[in-house]
Chain A
Amino acid sequence: MRFDTIIIGGGLAGLVCGIKLQKAGQKCAIISAGQSAMHFSSGAFDLLGRLPDGTEVKEPLKAISSLPAEHPYSIIGAEKVAEYAAQAKGFFADCGVKVTGDASRNSWRITPTGERKPSWLTIGDFTPLAAKEEKIGNKALIVNILGYLDFNTKFLADSFEKQGTECRIVALKLEEMERLRKNPSEMRSTNIARVMDREGIWETAVSQIRTLLKDEDVIVLPAVFGLKDGSVVEKISETLGKKTIFVATMPPSVPGIRTQMTLKAEFEKAGGRFFLGDTVIESKADENGIIKSISTVNFNDIRMEADNFVLATGSFFSKGLIATPEKVCEPVFGIDLTYREGRENWFNTNFWEKQNYISFGAKVDETLNASIAGKKIVNLYAIGSVIGGTNSLYEGCGGGTAIVTALAAADRILEKK
């Protein structure tokens, strides 16, 4: 099998890169092992929330020049980052993913435990706040589904009350949920969303909410609606004639999964091949180190060839990086990594402090090429969270890194032609 570009990894970075290349006329394949980090999305993509020294970032684009040299944004360059960030919104809109937000100024998302975190692009289901202390309304009706425990109404009510919003918590009891409830482990977001997606069900939920509603001016619901349809929140709001906001739940994330499925469909619609549930075993290179082909578990001895290879395999959780007691390595190509030797240097004994291992990952140059044993591999690119040099959790830049590096790598590949 032969492609122009083979992308390994079907998460946010892999899909964005694949869609851009495919739409530009390339023949692309994405090899995906399965779930991606979008399945436990926070509901928003972050660009930069904090500098490594802890300084809060309000204007991400302005802050990029303050980042250390090894940060992927610094490697790409502040100007380019701004350019790709500007492209992103239109890119998602073209794919049918509605996002709001602006790269020049962070907005705020409400987390499942009621915290407020800086964000860049917020998925359409959610309502970003312009300021951290913004009040969602005077009186809120927080509505849960009875027995659904991944939506923490108490934590949310408490956090809203701190901003002066009076809160009342109620739970819906829907007959349609009874079958789920027979096995209590089924009361999870995606299963509830599947029931809600059936004809007339969310409408039933809404009429129940109507009977529970008193004088509240805002309704807060868990984001368990719309595995296929991203506009349920607007429909509920219209039907009730009240401001309605969804708040992200503990994983799995319904809007995250829908976004991933939408992007995958967009990639396939453009003619890309998405190989789900496959894993790359090894690669072959020529005498100059140029990668020629890879083999996978499912295709066995049928080799997959391409001009370019993009590594978008993520970090440890998605096995883009593998840690053994002795070392950290990248399992597909064995590319060079930035990481600290000695296990004791990988972690902090306080879970809530910065963990070094999160910043481990691929060494890349300004063209996002990876290297093996110090030698640049000109047709191998690394994008997304497999890249090292940033503690994306602490700095709040995981989503941005994925999107910006994916768009940048696609450009480098297209420039070559």
Chain B
Amino acid sequence: MVSAARDNEFDVIIVGGGITGAGTARDCALRGLKVLLIERHDLATGATGRNHGLLHSGARYAVTDRESAEECIKENMILRKIARHCVEETEGLFLTLPEDDLGYQAKFVESCLAAGINAEIIDPKEALRMEPSANPDIIGAVKVPDGAVDPFRLTSANVIDAKLHGAKVLVYNEVTNLIKEGDTVKGVEVYDHITKQTANYYAPITVNAGGIWGQHIAELAGVKINMFPAKGALLIFGHRVNNVVLNRCRKPANADILVPGDTICLIGTTSSRIPFEECDNMFVTPDEVDVLLQEGEKLAPSLASTRILRAYAGVRPLVATDDDPSGRNISRGIVLLDHETRDGVKGFISITGGKLMTYRLMAEWAADLVCRKLNVQQSCITMSTPLPGSEKENIDEISHKTWAKPGTTHKATVGRHGARAVNIGLNDEYDASLVCECEEVSVGEVKYAINELDVHNLVDLRRRTRVGMGTCQGELCACRAAGMLADAHKCTDRAKDDLKNFVNERWKGMYPICWGDTLRESEYSQWIYSGVCGLEGGKCETNKAE
């Protein structure tokens, strides 16, 4: 709409490059707005990249939170269509173990059906045929339309589309202040961590999509949002034990979901309140690891003998309702705050709460409010417009068209980028060389990510391509990719520091579980990087996401 005259003027500024911010940026851009998306780290570094990657059917919430359950199943069906290359249609099972109350099952199924979730009681034997890794002692099983979703890919696809529709995206740019005139927010003051410069950007509306960090953004506007950081720890296992999502059929509790994702599977989560100071540097405690293992083995006994790759934790942005500042009455639903009506601050809204699953709906609500305020009539089209990578009918055909030489690398690449994989050059022998064997990432894909997907360092690269996410946790691929980044950035010192940070970031997820094979792998890494290569002097950096 407003064709702003200057290049630091926008229709809307969105603060936060998680899935909510990325989704909101895309929605606004599709409606013709001139959008600026600002993220202080990399995309998907907060709660977005630190969860199960579960495509919830909503069944988990059916008994306790009907509204969330209904939102989930609707969005579940939408994401299967618009984000096919980010979604894996695995199905899910809710298992009743001998120690659980089988009586809960009837109430569970009834609640699911009432919420529109197709839940079907099946014979435990049938369930074990569907998922042989499930605990053979189960006494009940319900099939639900759960699946897996890759949050990094989903965020990246939203950002790509926002950019295709004119949005400007700034990563490693931190909002240091809001520019206010009287009771109106006019824009943001931003510090660029890469160029070390500050800049001002202006828009009639600023959207706070900062997740748990959104409380701080709100404070900059002089607005109070009562948030409660709730830490959730997860464990990643070295291979895919299960192909079907496994849940416990009981009231939601610790470590009762096991989700397959790409080459691995994850068990989670725990739930504990943490102080705000810890949000930027979360660590997993031995007790959390113990609980996750103990409960996980009940869902799939073979987890007891499966190598644990790493431990990590995310923080849910839970919001206390306005009439209850004590935080007792906490909502897990979507919270959209119009600070003009709520607090008398114009030009500023917050979109928070919610879940990865409902990001699109959150974005729709936020974009609706932005459009209302800007008097824009365009309505939302994201429920039916495929994300970049998911447009084409048949992804297999793309794979065939893309390269002359067939191979598993192509499958892995198309799996990660969907139809966008056609943009990845694999023209010569060098492009086809493999950087990461565990995840089959080629030189061509790494080049594409560096050039097209806002990659500034190895950790960013991992989020876009899965380099270093496999069983070796970046043993050799990190060094290979560091060489390519040295080439791209024309700076080997920076690339070496980056390599040291990357190795440290991998270590952060390994030391909570440093025994058995994980310790063996760590010792090997020590030999390679400290011994053979003789690298030294890396530092621990906080704020580096999983």
Contact = CB atoms under 8 A, between A and B. Distances in A.
Interface of A: 37, 40-42, 111-117, 146-150, 152-155, 158, 171, 173, 181-185, 187, 248, 250-251, 253, 315-317, 319, 322-325, 343-344, 346-347, 349-352, 355, 357-358, 393-394, 398
18 contacts: A112-B479, A113-B534, A152-B479, A152-B480, A154-B483, A154-B487, A171-B430, A184-B409, A250-B480, A315-B523, A316-B520, A323-B516, A347-B514, A350-B538, A350-B539, A351-B504, A357-B523, A393-B530
B427 to A, nearest CB: 13
B432 A316 contact: no
Contacts of A398: 531
A342 B430 CA distance: 48
B508 A317 contact: no
Nearest to B505: A351
Contacts of A152: 479-480, 482-483
A351 B538 contact: yes
Contact of B532 (A183, A251, A315, A317): A251
Contacts of B531: 42, 393, 398
Contact of B511 (A40, A184, A349): A349
Interface of B: 283, 286, 290, 405, 407, 409, 429-430, 432-435, 437, 442-443, 476, 479-480, 482-483, 486-487, 492-493, 495-496, 500, 503-504, 506-508, 511, 514-516, 519-520, 522-540
A254 B540 CA distance: 34
A347 B483 CA distance: 29
A351 B507 contact: yes
A40 B532 contact: yes
Contact of A317 (B443, B487, B524, B536): B524
B540 A350 contact: yes
Contacts of B516: 322-324
A248 B533 CA distance: 9
Given A115-B534, A147-B433, A351-B525, 13 more contacts: A42-B534, A114-B492, A152-B479, A152-B482, A316-B523, A343-B286, A343-B514, A347-B522, A351-B538, A358-B526, A393-B530, A393-B531, A394-B530
Given A323-B516, A349-B508, A149 B527 contact: no
Contacts of A357: 514, 519, 523
B457 to A, nearest CB: 16
A317 B530 CA distance: 15
The 10 closest A-B pairs by CB, nearest first: A352-B538, A115-B534, A351-B507, A158-B492, A147-B433, A184-B434, A149-B480, A117-B534, A323-B515, A111-B534
A113 B537 CA distance: 14
A42 B536 CA distance: 16
A399 to B, nearest CB: 10
Contacts of A185: 434, 437
A147 B432 contact: yes
B532 A248 contact: yes
A149 B483 contact: yes
B532 A250 contact: yes
B338 to A, nearest CB: 43
A250 B483 contact: no
Given A111-B534, A317-B524, A154 B514 contact: no
Contacts of A113: 479, 496, 533-535
